[in-house]
Structure 1
């Protein structure tokens, strides 16, 4: 699955792809789910449920509870519309919701930017190593912490 396109985060095209993916799985694309996805896709860094609840609350001029957002995020992760960045307890919109594969996240400790990489040979090697150890991998999470190019250049 190395050759696939990523859609621009926050774009109408990404929102339409997410809607199609969710509906294809038999779920409904409600106004609230669209609002949560739009807010999530609008962040340039991983967003917590509280960040998203605040953004949706501001956009709708009414209070939205974080636990409602958590339920929607769980649905999104389960349907490949979002990815959870474990070390940040935060989420990013999946820019290729119709493609299922393992992802690698590069997380900048200085600015919080998270870059998504696709490298099927690395993730396949992780799955193989787990299987060789008698473990059944279901959802490998690979995160590399460090400094992004912009923060590295800024510190010189």
Structure 2
């Protein structure tokens, strides 16, 4: 747990993560299909943000038939809406959410050298951004915060 976190959540991995994702998606009224599971498992294999094209290519190879990037995009968009994945806007790529049942605004740290991405939570900071958006007349404000720099491994 990072020192910045202001609340706790359970981090999942492996089949436990897939199970938590399935439960979270079905709880939101969506179906957990074979293709959605395949996309989720492929995304979860990546430690760094992955593009829809990366996922489509890897699934096409593993399934022995072409998987269209557009299909993968639609599933990834669903995963972002239902909190199973996060979109790294500046990289046009996706990262699995390791705590799918927990709703909060992640602040992402992205390395300009190796592309590694991690996150921390700071509800005070993202709450202030939400409040500022509301004061400007916006509703359904969703902060997307990305910090770019050089990670410890590359520094």
TM-score (norm 1): 0.91
1:26-45 → structure 2 map (5 Å cutoff)? 26-45=29-48
Q: Which string of whole-angstrom CA distances, capped at 9 and with x for unpartnered residues, describes residues 29-61 of structure 1?
A: 111100000000111111110001011112212
Q: Does 1:68 align with 2:68?
A: no
- Choose which of 106, 111, 114 in structure 1 pairs with 2:117: 114
**Distance in 1 (alpha carbons) for counterparts of 2:112 and 2:106:** 19
Q: Structure 2 regions of 5+ residues with no counterpart?
A: 1-5
After TM superposition, give the deviation of residue 137 of structure 1 in Å.
5.0
TM-score (norm 2): 0.91
Instruction: Determine if contact 1:130/1:137 at 8 Å carries over to the other structure.
Output: no
Q: Does 1:141 align with 2:144?
A: yes
- Choose which of 4, 7, 10 in structure 1 pairs with 2:12: 7
Q: Structure 1 regions of 5+ residues with no counterpart?
A: none
Other-structure match for 2:3:
none
Other-structure match for 1:25:
28
1:40-51 → structure 2 map (5 Å cutoff)? 40-51=43-54
**Distance in 2 (alpha carbons) for counterparts of 1:4 and 1:140:** 19
Instruction: Determine if contact 1:103/1:117 at 8 Å carries over to the other structure.
Output: yes
Identify if the C-alpha distance between structure 1 residues 28 and 137 changes in structure 2 by more than 3 Å, giving closer, same or farther.
closer
Give every structure 1 segment of 4 or more consecutive aligned residues whose post-TM-superposition deviation is greater than 4 Å: none
Instruction: Determine if contact 2:133/2:141 at 8 Å carries over to the other structure.
Output: no
Count of residue correspondences: 150
After TM superposition, give the deviation of residue 26 of structure 1 in Å.
1.4
**Distance in 2 (alpha carbons) for counterparts of 1:151 and 1:137:** 37
- Choose which of 82, 85, 99 in structure 2 pairs with 1:82: 85
Instruction: Determine if contact 2:134/2:141 at 8 Å carries over to the other structure.
Output: no
Which segment drifts farther, 125-134 or 20-29? 125-134
